[in-house]
Amino acid sequence: MGRWGLRRGARGCVGGGGGGGCAPGAGRAAGPGSRPPACPRMGSAWGSAARRGGSARPRLVPEVTRVGIQSHLLSMGASLVKLEAVAQQSARTRLLPLLHSELWHLRQVSMAEHLKAVPVEAAPMKAEPGPMAKEDPNVRGSKDRGLKKWEETEPQAKRLKNNEEDEEHSKKLPKRKIVLLMAYSGKGYHGMQRNLGSSQFKTIEDDLVSALVQSGCIPENHGEDMKKMSFQRCARTDKGVSAAGQIVSLKVWLIDNILEKINSHLPSHIRILGLKRVTGSFNSKNRCDARTYFYMLPTFAFAHKDHDIQDERYRLSPETLEKVNQLLAGYKGTHNFHNFTSQKGPKEPSARRYIMEMHCEAPFMREGMEFAVIKIKGQSFMMHQIRKMIGLVIAVLKGYVPESVMERSWGEEKVDIPKAPGLGLVLERVHFEQYNRRFGNDGLHEPLDWVEEEEKMTVFKEQYIYPTIIKTEMEEHSMTNWLNTLPNHDFDAGSQEAKADDGNTKAPASLKGSDGGGDH
């Protein structure tokens, strides 16, 4: 008996089980160039040895007809690619010439013609493939009219599949959690945070997300749903507020020259100054320990309403600067700032905020006008908190309200506090001290200190932020116009409101907060 279950001679092939082989003569060769007729046991021969746990090579029966192979493989939905793989795997078997012959034949005719031209009962098989089968006109009018030739459909489908795979491969770039150091001029924008569904109010994030999509850093659907890229800004700046050191965290594809490509799709007054890898769970808002802002304003805002000139001719004296810093230092520590925002009530724990530093630097001249910068560092700030803190100090210096109102504002009673213009407010930098101590020197991540980008931040402030503040102030007189509204504020309104509440009367509508937003 042969190794593959074929016994040369009068006896047929060896079947599985105990039932014996095929009829005598079924396995005898008919002569040179011919092949044996069909084997009635072809279906049970494939892989029988493997199922019985025998030899590593399956017992294959070569007495299989062309119709048997075709009907068997076609019924399983095998493609030409799979047939070629079978042929390669069968290189050591006697079926290799048979499979190659069938491959050649199947590529020449359509599936419909093959199924109709070669009925299952037919069993002739030649050693060499015949000439290309001609198309049967009757088939074209049958129900198989819509079928195309394999030689046309299979290569086309293969090309489409390869194109899809190439597209997928091109997008399988490293997707990592990073932080971006941003600088922007906030004039003309309704704050930092994106407002989906409200295209009327343009924000900084609108331009940023658009640049990320166009540069190929994120897919388009991530721009529509920012949670998909784990986007988080460190500070939510208000309308008109600028930033020299804003931080956003997100997941992106780390493409080549990523900073240059993003900036190429951003306006000149919005720049990405730096990029660093961070831990996978990093959240720029929650990981931030503190935020530093500065407020740039003309010094005539400190001039007393009864004793000093009220325009750009005013110059800040050392005595007045000392008084300014004395008032600003009163904000240091933890206080209840519910009167400095419209979002919190006096008994809400989140209204208590910790201020680390607040002072006014020496004045300087720009475009013939004297300016000064107030710097403030705190753990976090509520909406409009900084602008109201500065507004109250200005009201005290100008003589509209006594100094004692500052301590009264930290109590539970309502105090009407003026809000300084947003033009001069700038987010200078954010701090990640705890993160830097834990991960900054672990050998895998960089500390988020941005020392190397310090010069870029200074250049951006000098090129875009300072000129915008100065030019807008000189053209629109935002500080002058706001100073003219200070006499309209009733700083004793809190006492009147408390009496109204005791008498179960409704507070005046002018005392209700109307601002929206959140912490930053």
For the chain, list the domains and their CATH numbers.
Answer: 175-286 (3.30.70.580), 290-431+451-495 (3.30.70.660)
- Total-model pTM: 0.64
Worst-scoring range by mean pLDDT, 151-155, 296-300, 424-428? 151-155
238 is a catalytic site residue? yes
Convert the pLDDT of each residue in 61-97 to its tens digit: 444 445 555 555 455 544 555 555 655 555 545 555 5
C-alpha distances in Å from residue 63, one per residue of 2, 118, 257: 13, 18, 63
What confidence score (pLDDT) does residue 492 get? Answer: 73
Cβ–Cβ < 8 Å for 454, 270: no
**Is the pLDDT at 42 greater than 60, yes or no?**
no
What confidence score (pLDDT) does residue 238 get? Answer: 86
Is 293 marked as binding a ligand? yes
* Alpha-carbon gap, residue 296 to 428, rounded angstroms: 12
What does the mean pLDDT of the chain come to? 76
The pLDDT > 90 percentage for the chain reads 52
Query: 């200070």: which residue's tokens?
Result: 486
Mean pLDDT along residues 265-284: 95
Convert the pLDDT of each residue in 386-416 to its tens digit: 999 999 999 999 999 999 999 999 999 999 9
What confidence score (pLDDT) does residue 236 get? Answer: 87
**Is the pLDDT at 329 greater than 80, yes or no?**
yes
**Is the pLDDT at 28 greater than 70, yes or no?**
no
What confidence score (pLDDT) does residue 357 get? Answer: 97
Bridge partners of residue 404, in order along the sequence: none
Bridge partners of residue 271, in order along the sequence: 183
Mean pLDDT along residues 306-331: 94
Mean pLDDT along residues 255-262: 95
* Alpha-carbon gap, residue 449 to 431, rounded angstroms: 8
* Alpha-carbon gap, residue 139 to 162, rounded angstroms: 32
Convert the pLDDT of each residue in 132-160 to its tens digit: 444 454 544 444 444 444 444 545 555 55
Mean pLDDT along residues 415-428: 94
Cβ–Cβ < 8 Å for 517, 241: no
Cβ–Cβ < 8 Å for 464, 378: no
Per annotation, catalytic residue among 238, 442, 502, 515: 238
Mean pLDDT along residues 180-194: 93
